Amino acid sequence: MHFSNGSCTHFGATDEEIAVVLSRQEGRPVPVEEVRQVGARAMRKIKATLHKRGYTAENLIPELWRGPRRYQALNERNIPVGEDHPKARYSNAHIDQVLRMRDQGAGYGTIAKALGMPKTTVCNICNGRQRLQVATQYRVASA
């Protein structure tokens, strides 16, 4: 660990990169200035924590740019289902809302107007002709 111009660089990571990793770990934005103001003892602790979690100079940078992983829902034949299907027009939340409104006694036309869907689509969803498949597995979606 060494300090250069009031900034600390650890195992090849810049202050900005350390701030991003700490932000993810703490669940709050960590300003770069806060990283720069941390003393040497605290920085050793941060470095040790990152090392324990598997961060090294080689994998820290790609981890920072990768961002959060997105998972794709698949059926038993490895075909995307639900909102992950390439031709899906409505999110899983919209489908849940359709079914919830139908359970509460709303008619197809009422649901269609409220959610901006065709009446036939609402009817097909409620009767199990559309969006019936359930995800049996998940995979990391390609970027």
Amino acid at 79: I
Task: Decide if 7 contacts 36 (C-beta within 8 A).
Answer: yes
For the residues 86-97, what does the mean pLDDT come to?
A: 91
Q: With bands split at pLDDT 50, 70 and 90, how would you rate the model's confidence at 58?
A: low
Domain-wise residue ranges, the chain: 2-66, 71-140
CATH topology of domain 71-140: Arc Repressor Mutant, subunit A (1.10.10)
Q: How confident is the model at residue 137 (pLDDT cuts 50, 70, 90)?
A: confident
The string of pLDDT tens digits covering residues 66-75 is: 555 677 888 8
Asked whether the CA dihedral 136, 24, 55, 15 is positive or negative, the reply is: positive
Token pair 């990768």 is found at 66
pLDDT at residue 28 in the model = 75
DSSP for 26-83 reads HTS---HHHHHHS-HHHHHHHHHHHHHTT--HHHHHHHHHH-S--EEEE-TTS-B-GG
Model confidence at 121: pLDDT above 90: yes
- 3-47 confidence digits (pLDDT tens): 333 344 444 567 777 777 777 766 777 777 777 776 666 666 766
Q: Cβ-count burial of 18 within 10 angstroms (0-12 exposed, 13-18 middle, 19+ buried)?
A: buried
Residue 141, pLDDT score: 76
* Buried/exposed code over 36-57 (b: 16+ C-beta within 10 A; e: otherwise): bebeeeebeebbeebeeeebee
